[in-house]
Amino acid sequence: MLGNDELRSLAIESGFRCRESKLTPALFFDLLFYASSLSQNSSLEHLISRLESVHGIEMKKQSLNDRFTKKAVNFVKSVLSCLIRAQFSDMLIFEGFLSDFNHVRVKDSTSFKVPDNLAANYSGNGGGLAGISIQYEFDLKTGKFFDLTITEASRNDQSDASETVENISENDLVIRDMGYFSAPVFWQIDEANAFYLSRLPSNVTVYDENWEVIDFGKLKDFMTKNKINKIEKEVLIGETGLPVRLMIGLVPPAVYAERIRRKAKEEKKKGRKTQEKTKLMQNFNLFITNTDDRQLPLEKVMHLYRFRWQIELQFKNWKSLFSIHTLQQMKEDRYITMLYTRLILIVVCMQISNRVQSLLSKQGKGILSYTKTLKTLKNSYTDILSIFRSGFEKAVQLLSKIYRTLSKNHWRERRNNRENYIENICLFICISEI
């Protein structure tokens, strides 16, 4: 919890609070937090009106605008860092879930266009003059945030993988998509006695133990003829010959046809034709890992990787519920300050959601819907701010109130003909019911 004294200390450390003022760091932060909870953007006029009507402080619009500086950005960044460091550690679902690993690090990024006046420090990635990317990493076992960083959209995921590999600890399992694929990074993860699970890009050359290129055409014919859906091989990949377990899944004809259709559409936009090798590789789901078959058996690989897709649902909620991508044009320091504050709101809401989920799981109950839960929490702005800013006893009271609300009608719906989230978890902890 961050009280007035803690916020004052963070403001002093960041250089934001240089003199006494009626607009204290705590009040400034509360104003930002209020603005971030709204569905629409808040103008300076709206914010100074709230300062006067709620807090009795009169301030000119320009005076408030002048408070948004690089020091203000550093202040809210320090609040976010403090919040991430102070996260509780709790088993999110079940204690037996992926118990072979200390952490299961799932990482992805989301990018969006921003006003052109931010282009000098936040260059776009081809979709616009200016753009922002948010790198997000969390622990699948506990829900804890590891990374939540704002960068320019032109900085790609592969660069992020190289620049953050030292954050990975012994016995961590790293799950990422192909955008982060980097053989040198995988070597470093292996040297750190950690583990990885990744999709294999179709353009990466695969060798057998004798450095002979694997013929995926013959492999497809073999699997089809013998009605084999999944196999694994010990192989070497890339120029450096990284030794990995390669898990190979043959997709159904309908899935293959849809992949070819999408690939042809993508290539047509670029004025190219789909290469024959690319067409061939669309027949497979390919995954690589340095785990052994006891830690991650072949039949569980696809189920585990599906958990990574939960991050895409979270990004969707961040945009639809918290509007991280629709801030109006304003000066850069104010824009970044407001964006970091929205991320703080997201962290608080998701930590509350994870805490409630942990309690429900230990009672043998079901899985909360992220969308329903975050929507309710976002709309409970007063309670959320009080939990964040109050002492322990009041926070516990408010959390109990939220727990009762969420445990009534915020369950994840079961969909026919789809693997359920909880069923995937049960596969890993070997239980038949919860």
- The H-assigned helical ranges of 43-129 are 44-55, 61-66, 70-85
Which tokens in the block code for residue 261?
Answer: 């259709």
| Whether residue 208 has pLDDT greater than 60 | yes
- Residue ranges making up the domain that contains 344: 4-86+330-409
Query: Which of the pair, 132 or 269, is modelled with greater confidence?
Result: 132
49 vs 242: CA distance, rounded Å? 61
Amino acid occupying residue 276: E
What CA–CA distance (Å, rounded) separates 410 from 298?
A: 34
| Dihedral angle computed from the Cα positions of residues 75, 343, 104 and 408, in that order, rounded to the nearest 10 degrees | 130
Sign for the CA dihedral angle at 20, 23, 26, 29 comes to: negative
- What's residue 430's pLDDT? 47
Residue for token pair 């290469």: 275
Q: At 94, is the pLDDT very low, low, confident or very high (cuts 50, 70, 90)?
A: low
Q: Which amino acid is it at 384?
A: I
What one-letter code names the amino acid at 345?
L
List the one residue out of 352, 369, 346, 400 whose CA is nearest residue 37.
Answer: 346
Averaged pLDDT, 38-46: 87
| Residue owning tokens 């294999």 | 200
- Is 277 a domain residue? no
Furthest CA-CA distance within the chain = 79
For residue 321, pLDDT over 80 is answered with yes
**Domain for residue 283, yes or no?**
no
Q: What is the distance between the alpha carbons of residues 242 and 91, in angstroms, rounded to a whole number?
A: 34
Query: How many Cβ atoms from other residues are within 10 Å of residue 172's Cβ?
Result: 20
CA distance 277 to 272: 14
For position 309, what pLDDT does the model report? 81
Share of the chain above pLDDT 90, in %: 61
Across 324-343, average pLDDT: 95
pLDDT higher than 60, residue 427: no
Residue 420 clears pLDDT 70, i.e. is over it:
no
Check pLDDT > 60 for residue 432.
no
> What is the Cα–Cα distance from 104 to 232, expressed in whole angstroms?
22
Distance, in Å, from the CA atom of 267 to the CA atom of 276, rounded to the nearest integer, reads 13
CB-based contacts of 93, cutoff 8 Å, min separation 6: 141, 357, 358, 361, 367, 425
Residue 138: enclosing H or E segment and its boundaries? strand 131-139
Q: What is the mean pLDDT of the chain?
A: 88
Residue type, 230: K
In a domain, 23, yes or no: yes
Q: What is the pTM of this model?
A: 0.88
Alpha helices in 132-252 (DSSP H): 157-164, 183-191, 216-225
The model's confidence at residue 255, banded by pLDDT at 50, 70 and 90, is very high
221's CB contacts (< 8 A; 6+ apart) are: none
The reply to whether 394 falls in a domain is: yes
Based on its alpha-carbon atoms, the radius of gyration of the chain, rounded to whole angstroms, reads: 24
The secondary structure of residue 116, as a DSSP letter, is G
Give pLDDT, residue 40.
79
Query: So what's the pLDDT on residue 426?
Result: 54
In 3D, which of 185, 173, 180, 171 has the Cα closest to residue 200?
180
Query: Looking at the domain assignment, is residue 223 inside a domain?
Result: no
Name every residue whose Cβ is closer than 8 Å to that of residue 199 and which is 6 or more positions away in sequence: 177, 178, 181, 285, 286, 287, 288, 305
pLDDT bin (cut points 50, 70, 90) of residue 433 is: very low
Cβ(35)–Cβ(341) below 8 Å: yes
The total number of structural domains in the chain stands at 1
The vertex-400 CA angle with 395 and 404, nearest 5°, equals 150
What pLDDT sits at residue 431?
Answer: 37
Coil, helix or strand for 199? Answer: strand
For residue 53, what are its two tokens? 């009507």
Tokens 């921003």 correspond to: 114
Q: What percent of the chain has pLDDT over 70?
A: 92
Does residue 238 belong to any structural domain of this protein? Answer: no
| SS3 of residue 235 by DSSP | strand
DSSP class per residue in 415-427: -TTS--HHHHHHH
Residue 424 pLDDT class (50, 70, 90 cuts): low
- Domain contains 13: yes
> How far is the C-alpha of 264 from the C-alpha of 112, rounded, in Å?
25
Residue 81 lies in a domain: yes
More confident residue, 424 or 25: 25
User: Each residue of 337-374: pLDDT tens digit?
Assistant: 999 999 999 998 888 888 888 888 777 777 888 888 98
